[in-house]
Chains A and B, each alone.
Chain A
């Protein structure tokens, strides 16, 4: 089931977005300003392609890392890891999960490396409800209520890209889960 959890629309940037970010970077970095004209156009499009590969976010991992910070979930996972007990189900009400990560674009022109373009990716997921199961020290997603995701890509304080989407591929009703679909355990490290 976890393999089916994904963003309804992936986070993507375009060449114009990259040019905007590079322009903002050129105001700070003289080396980028010198070659900014060379980076525009087709090179920026290719840079956007590279960034889009890095922006392929596994939304389940993002959500699981947030769920693991809930004390009830953490204790259930710890208990399932220590004892062979039946999986514990955890129902979470409405909550917001915010994740912040860095997306770094390394570029080189004529064998000379430019200062890396460091972007900040903020993902905010507004989850109406979630049903989790703790088994063998891991978190399993049983059901997920309505969830909306807003992704913001920033260069420092300058917004480069904002993307709003939803989460698809999850069961809304935990009682209608299909046994044929294999559940995937999230790899969340929890301090025991």
Chain B
């Protein structure tokens, strides 16, 4: 019964780990330092055109567009603003997003300085928040080339030149997401924990089986060697002894087996060392 429960638990853990690792996330949400390694490991997927252009209204309505100081426009999920209230960088992004909704679309001709063409980095889901919240996300290379001083996205101050929100950007309340923003570390920890648990479980099962197989052999080894077995049955006679209950029963029996008898006559002192005389009833 225990073995069945253990196997059931193992299967459950394995299924959970597999389900958790099956959800891939975009590589754009990974820090650039480890992005290549994560991509090689297959733990993330690159953004596809389908991901860049949401097909349904729900994902599009749950994002807000943020224009960075270098002119980069980033679409950020709305829920980021609700969960990144503890960090200065996250608060900046949240504030930027809030202002983006309020400010009217700027007129490029108003400044007189031709603003660089806004380069949009579309992120399909909210995983960007995790990356933005953990490491400063630099602008894409193209944006860096266009801007003389690229600044991290999180360092964007509530600049007055905030990017205008396009009219086509929906501002609907975000839909609830089931996956936490910080997906990669959680998945890695889950996989690691599941692996350790499975390893321990299988190790325990193997040890249990090994001990079960070892028990009979250990009994044989631990058994005291048999005493000398006499071929003939032991005679029980007057030497029988009954020890106390704790002490083993000890019995003794002794016998005497006849042997040889020799006689040595002393040196003859005279000729009649051995004298034989015939007795007679008459003489008696």
- Cβ of B227: which chain A residues have Cβ within 8 Å of it? 31, 34-35, 109-110, 112-114
Shortest Cβ distance from A90 into B: residue? B276
Shortest Cβ distance from B224 into A: residue? A34
**A29–B261 contact, CB under 8 A?**
no
Shortest Cβ distance from A142 into B: residue? B279
**A113–B278 contact, CB under 8 A?**
no
Q: Which of A50, A88, A96 contacts B263 (CB 8 A)?
A: A96
Q: Which of A66, A72, A115 contacts B276 (CB 8 A)?
A: A72
Provided the pairs A90-B275, A90-B276, A103-B256 are in contact, do residues A50 and B237 lie with their beta carbons within 8 angstroms?
Answer: yes
**B265–A116 contact, CB under 8 A?**
no
Is B251's CB within 8 Å of the partner chain A?
Answer: yes
- Cβ of A47: which chain B residues have Cβ within 8 Å of it? 239, 252, 254
Provided the pairs A67-B263, A95-B263, A108-B250 are in contact, do residues A86 and B278 lie with their beta carbons within 8 angstroms?
Answer: yes
The residues in B between 104 and 125 inclusive whose CB is less than 8 angstroms from any CB of A are none
Provided the pairs A31-B228, A38-B248 are in contact, do residues A106 and B254 lie with their beta carbons within 8 angstroms?
Answer: yes
Bound-complex Cα distance A72 to B254 (A): 37
Q: Interface 1/0s, chain A 42-67, versus B by CB < 8 A? A: 01001101110111010000100111
Q: Give the shortest distance, in Å, between A111 (CB) and chain B (any CB).
A: 7
A-B pairs with beta carbons under 8 Å apart, 8 shown? A29-B228, A34-B227, A50-B239, A89-B278, A89-B279, A97-B261, A99-B261, A101-B256
**A62–B261 contact, CB under 8 A?**
yes
**A98–B264 contact, CB under 8 A?**
yes
Is A163's CB within 8 Å of the partner chain B?
Answer: no
Is B223's CB within 8 Å of the partner chain A?
Answer: no
What is the number of residues of chain A that contact chain B, defined by CB distance less than 8 Å?
59
From B2-10, B21-29, B171-179, B266-274, the one touching the partner chain is: B266-274
Provided the pairs A50-B252, A54-B255, A107-B252 are in contact, do residues A88 and B247 lie with their beta carbons within 8 angstroms?
Answer: no
Specify the main secondary structure of chain A where it touches its partner: mixed
- Cβ of B269: which chain A residues have Cβ within 8 Å of it? 93
Q: Which of B256, B260, B265, B278 contacts A88 (CB 8 A)?
A: B278
Is B56's CB within 8 Å of the partner chain A?
Answer: no
**Chain B: number of interface residues, binned into ranges:** 35 or more
**B279–A98 contact, CB under 8 A?**
no
| Residues in chain A within 8 A of chain B (CB atoms) | 29, 31-32, 34-35, 38-39, 43, 46-47, 49-51, 53-55, 57, 62, 65-67, 69-70, 72, 76, 85-116, 121, 133
Question: Which 5 pairs of residues, A with B, have the shortest CB-CB distance?
Answer: A50-B239, A112-B227, A66-B263, A31-B228, A110-B248
Provided the pairs A89-B277, A93-B269 are in contact, do residues A113 and B261 lie with their beta carbons within 8 angstroms?
Answer: no
- Cβ of A32: which chain B residues have Cβ within 8 Å of it? 228
Provided the pairs A91-B274, A96-B264, A116-B230 are in contact, do residues A54 and B256 lie with their beta carbons within 8 angstroms?
Answer: yes
- Cβ of A108: which chain B residues have Cβ within 8 Å of it? 234, 249-251
Is B229's CB within 8 Å of the partner chain A?
Answer: yes
**A93–B234 contact, CB under 8 A?**
no
Bound-complex Cα distance A121 to B272 (A): 33
**B254–A51 contact, CB under 8 A?**
yes
Bound-complex Cα distance A115 to B243 (A): 20
Provided the pairs A106-B235, A112-B227 are in contact, do residues A100 and B260 lie with their beta carbons within 8 angstroms?
Answer: yes
Shortest Cβ distance from B281 into A: residue? A86
- Cβ of A113: which chain B residues have Cβ within 8 Å of it? 227-230, 234
Q: Which of A66, A105, A115 contacts B254 (CB 8 A)?
A: A105
**B257–A115 contact, CB under 8 A?**
no
The residues in B between 220 and 248 inclusive whose CB is less than 8 angstroms from any CB of A are 226-230, 234-235, 237-239, 241, 243, 247-248
Q: Give the shortest distance, in Å, between A158 (CB) and chain B (any CB).
A: 18
